[in-house]
């Protein structure tokens, strides 16, 4: 007789609908998670916790009235928390409150899955394996949200031409324009599917399918010329070879 998989009740608390949409889509891909509700602020979350058992909360920090960190401090016997925020500066304070993990937006699916596995009870390791097995290779996101101009902007991965690092920011060039967001290019590289995007320079990531032509030293995408760094040349050529196989 096959043993049924235990479901863990989870709750999304975030005042931004686009951010809730991303988390909702990620949760739907993990069979051990059961989404029992979504809240736009901490007050709604308190009400939801009184109405049903919740094992895990995906919680934003900066929200109106009561912040996510303040919410954690008000609860007796709280569930586990994974913080999902656009701000890195609260990490130390968050871990002092014993949160399970701290995810900085935009959140890639792989990073999200690692946080979920970390949140599961150790004695249920078999469920961790089940979660990993049930995530297909097609789980790469079709889009990501980036904070720009005080709002969350949806960027379709298929629209990205290339990405340029500008110290503490990145400029994302797309078929529909440019998006500038505070993010490290190395972190963004880790989030994007390696089968579609490749680092070609310390300051540039490119979409492989958007490349029009290239030499050993540069890449042409539409009217733009992107340099190829010597340290990245070999992996770039290997990536192109894999695409042609």
Q: What is the CATH number of the domain that holds 21?
A: 3.40.50.2300
Residue 177 lies in a domain: yes
Q: Please check the confidence at residue 122 and state whether its pLDDT lies above 80.
A: no
Residue 125 lies in a domain: yes
User: Helices 125-133 and 109-119 sit at what angle, rounded to 10 degrees?
Assistant: 160
Average pLDDT over the chain reads 85
* Higher-scoring residue by pLDDT: 166, 127: 166
Do 94 and 161 fall within a single domain? no
The whole-number average pLDDT for the span 196-204 is 94
Q: Give pLDDT, residue 212.
A: 95
Predicted confidence band of residue 102 (pLDDT cuts 50, 70, 90): very high
User: Helices 109-119 and 17-28 sit at what angle, rounded to 10 degrees?
Assistant: 70
Non-local (6+) Cβ contacts of 61 within 8 A are 67, 68, 69, 83, 85, 87, 90, 94
The whole-number average pLDDT for the span 45-74 is 92
Residue 1 lies in a domain: no
Do 91 and 152 fall within a single domain? no
Q: Give pLDDT, residue 229.
A: 94
Number of domains composing the chain: 2
Mean pLDDT is lowest, of 2-6, 31-35, 128-132, for 128-132
CA-nearest of 170, 180, 153 to 206 is 170
Residue ending a domain, choose from 116, 139, 162? 139
Q: For residues 55-77, b (16+ Cβ closer than 10 Å) or e, as one string? A: bbbbbbbebeeebbbebbeeeee
The whole-number average pLDDT for the span 121-129 is 49
Report which DSSP code applies to 7. P
Do 43 and 134 fall within a single domain? yes
CA-nearest of 4, 6, 3, 1 to 123 is 6
Q: Which domain holds residue 172?
A: 144-244
Residue ending a domain, choose from 111, 139, 167? 139
Residue 100 lies in a domain: yes
Do 148 and 228 fall within a single domain? yes
């Amino acid at each position: 007789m096959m043993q049924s998989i235990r479901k863990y009740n989870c709750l999304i608390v975030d005042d931004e609908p686009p951010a809730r949409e991303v988390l909702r889509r990620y949760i739907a891909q993990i069979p051990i998670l059961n989404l029992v509700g979504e809240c736009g602020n901490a007050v709604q979350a308190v009400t939801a916790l009184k109405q049903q058992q919740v094992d895990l909360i995906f919680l934003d920090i900066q929200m109106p009235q009561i912040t996510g960190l303040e919410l954690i401090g008000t609860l007796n016997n709280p569930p586990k928390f994974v913080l999902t925020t656009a701000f890195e500066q609260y990490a130390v304070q968050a871990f002092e409150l014993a949160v399970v993990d701290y995810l900085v937006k935009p959140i890639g699916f792989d990073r999200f899955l690692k946080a979920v596995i970390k949140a599961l009870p150790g004695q249920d390791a078999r469920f961790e394996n089940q979660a990993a097995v049930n995530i297909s290779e097609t789980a790469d996101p079709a889009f990501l949200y980036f904070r720009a101009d005080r709002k969350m902007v949806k960027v379709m991965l298929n629209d990205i031409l290339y990405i340029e690092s500008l110290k503490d920011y990145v400029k994302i060039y797309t078929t529909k324009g440019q998006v500038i967001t505070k993010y490290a290019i190395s972190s963004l590289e880790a989030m994007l599917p390696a089968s579609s995007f490749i680092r070609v320079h310390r300051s540039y990531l490119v979409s492989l399918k958007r490349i029009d032509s290239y030499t050993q030293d540069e890449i042409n995408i539409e009217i733009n010329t992107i340099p190829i760094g010597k340290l990245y040349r070999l992996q770039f050529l290997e990536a192109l070879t894999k695409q042609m196989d």
